[in-house]
Each structure stands twice: as structure tokens, then as C-alpha cells.
Amino acid sequence: MIIGLTGKNGSGKGVVADYLKKAGYIYYSLSDMIREEIKRVGQEVNRENLIAMGRKLREDGGPSVLADKVLDLLDIDKNYIVDSVRNPFEVRALKRRKDFYLFCVEADQKVRFERTKERARENDPTDFETFVTLEEKELNSTDPAAQQLVATAALADFIIDNSSTLEDVQKRTKEILLELVKKNTRPDWDTYFMNIAQNVSLRSNCLKRKVAAIIVKDKRIISTGYNGTPRGVKNCSDGGCPRCASFAPSGTGLHDCLCSHAEENAIVQAAYHGVSIKEATLYCTFSPCLTCTKMILNSGIREVVYNANYPLGDVALRLIEEAGLQLRKM
């Protein structure tokens, strides 16, 4: 899950970030990325330079450049904080991840001024009037390269009021986290197994295409296979299969192909370990060819779930239906 933090100066995003850090969330900050760039070019880090460099980076790399960069660093399985989201383009980029939620931390203007005065960072204004004037200027820009805090806040999924006590903010943050965890958008079984199959296919050494199959029984994987030349034979990618290396048109020269198919290898791997695949489900990234289909039927597999249609696979699919196996396309 990714929690984005936005909020006006002094709203106390740091308090929420600290709470999330303690809960194990890994911290990134879009403004730290700007700070690093300012240091890299040898400038002083102050509020003016932060705004100017933020603008420059967005002008050069597109309005969502900071979010795009941070997204490259984030794994799909871990929890992250992305602090200092300041532009709707950044929000839209981050929302490409279905597990992204934007928190907007709010506090009264006077409270925020006192807080910025206290932390005295990067030439923050020291009198209230300058604070208000500067803020007006920053808040309502329509320039895509500038920060746009009002438009960003409008995209927030959750508002956290941080005008009173630390305990209140922590309590509210905890409530939201519990709500999000309950949503628990984990993949269904079909998606889970097909995602694994697609990962298995990456291990294929075949020059023509990467295919994988996994065999599942009682919701447990009992065998996997990907296509490629047989054990002990030079890999297809190293020239082990002359037919694949000639990039023969699809469907031609199949009898000369030295590569085993993914479904074939998954069935053979079960045999290698002496595991029965009777009544199992086979997940394959392409629908099976005719030869593999005949093996599937005789192996006792009772269900085939596939992702994409294999060219010339129609006869095989008809055969699977005729034999009474369950067949589903994802």
C-alpha cells in the first residue's frame, strides 16, 4: 500500500509520517527529491529554491516527474509513505497504483504559522502576514509546473485534522489504516495463480515466445513448467533449437521444433516427482496446442484456465470441451 501525504505548510504531515514510519511504512518524500537536486547543482536549500527547482523539474520532465521517479522505486508488496505530494498530476500518476491513497493533513492557518515559526526551516516567513501572502501565491496556481495544493487536496481520499492534539491525529490515522486494511484488495485465486504463471514464463529460454503453465490442486501449486529445449540440451536462446532460431512463421515447422511446451513440462515435472495431477487445474498463459491438449486429457486434469489464445488452438479447445473438461479464459 502507498500512502501519499499532502497538506499546507505547517499542517503537520510529519506527525502522520512518523506514525506510519513506526508502523513499518518506508518513507519517501517528493520534496526531498527536489532538495537532493538543489544540493547536486550546488544551490542553497531554501523555500524559494525548492519552489523554483520543483517547477524546473516539472517543466523538464512533465508535471508528474517526481511521482513517476518515486514509483520506479516502489515494490508491489511493501508499505510506503510518499510525502509532500503537491500537484494533481502527481496524484494521478500515483493513482496508477490501485493501492494508493492520498491523505490530506489540515490545520488552522494560525496553528500552521506557529508551527512553521517553531521549526524555522529554509527561510520560512517569521511574521503572519508574509506567511499568508506567500501561501496565497502558492496555493492557487493553475500552472501545471507549479505546486497546486488546493487542487491536490481536492483529490484526497482521507482528511486528517491536525489542529488539536498528537493523540487525536494518531487515533484518526490508525482508524483510516484499519479501514484500508479491511478493504484488503488481495487477488482472487484465478488472478493469483495466473500472475504466478506469468512470472514463471519469464524463466523461458525460447526465442519464439515465453509461455508457462502451473498445475494446482486444492488451491496449492503442485507443478510448474515453462517452454524451452529439454534438460541437457543447449538452451533455445543459445541456438539450441534451429527451428526457433530461424524465426519460422507461426504454425510452420512445428515437427522440427526442439522446444518442449510449458504444459508438457508441467505434466512431466509432476511425473518427475511422482505427484498425481488427477482432478487438478492447469493454468496456462496461452491456450494449449493440440499435442499438449491430448496430454492434459490423459493426465486426469479436469480444468484448464488460460489467458491468451494460442494461434491454431481452436481444434484443441474444441477437444477439451468434447472431453468434458472445464475450460475458462481469463
Residues that bind Zn ion (CB under 5 A): 206, 236, 241, 244, 259, 261, 289, 292
Q: How far is the CB of 233 from Zn ion (least distance, A)?
A: 11
Q: How far is the CB of 47 from Zn ion (least distance, A)?
A: 59
Cell of 29: 518524500
Decide: residue 227, CB within 10 A, 0-12 exposed, 13-18 middle, 19+ buried: buried
Q: Which residues pair with 26 in a beta bridge?
A: 80
Q: How far is the CB of 209 from Zn ion (least distance, A)?
A: 8
The span from the CA of 81 to the CA of 86, in Å, is: 14
Cell of 281: 487445474
Q: Which is nearer to Zn ion, 126 or 246 (CB)?
A: 246
The span from the CA of 328 to the CA of 305, in Å, is: 5
Q: Could you say which of 263, 279, 303, 322 is catalytic? A: 263
Question: For the chain, what's the residue count?
Answer: 330
Cell of 74: 516502489
CA proximity to 10, closest of 114, 95, 99: 114
Q: How far is the CB of 261 from Zn ion (least distance, A)?
A: 3
Burial letters 241-254, b for 16+ CB under 10 A, else e = bebbeeeeeeeeee
Q: How far is the CB of 204 from Zn ion (least distance, A)?
A: 8
The span from the CA of 109 to the CA of 8, in Å, is: 9
Residue 263 appears among annotated catalytic residues: yes
Q: How far is the CB of 303 from Zn ion (least distance, A)?
A: 17
Q: How far is the CB of 320 from Zn ion (least distance, A)?
A: 13
Is there a contact between 66 and 58 (Cβ–Cβ < 8 Å)? yes
Q: Which is nearer to Zn ion, 61 or 300 (CB)?
A: 300
Inter-residue long-range contacts of 284-287, CB under 8 Å, 24+ positions, other chains counted: 284/197, 284/211, 284/212, 284/213, 285/194, 285/197, 285/198, 285/201, 285/210, 285/211, 285/212, 285/213, 286/209, 286/211, 286/262, 286/310, 286/313, 287/313, 287/316, 287/317, 287/329
Q: What is the DSSP letter of 127?
A: S
Decide: residue 170, CB within 10 A, 0-12 exposed, 13-18 middle, 19+ buried: middle
What are phi and psi for residue 294, nearest 5 degrees?
-60, -40
Catalytic residues: 263
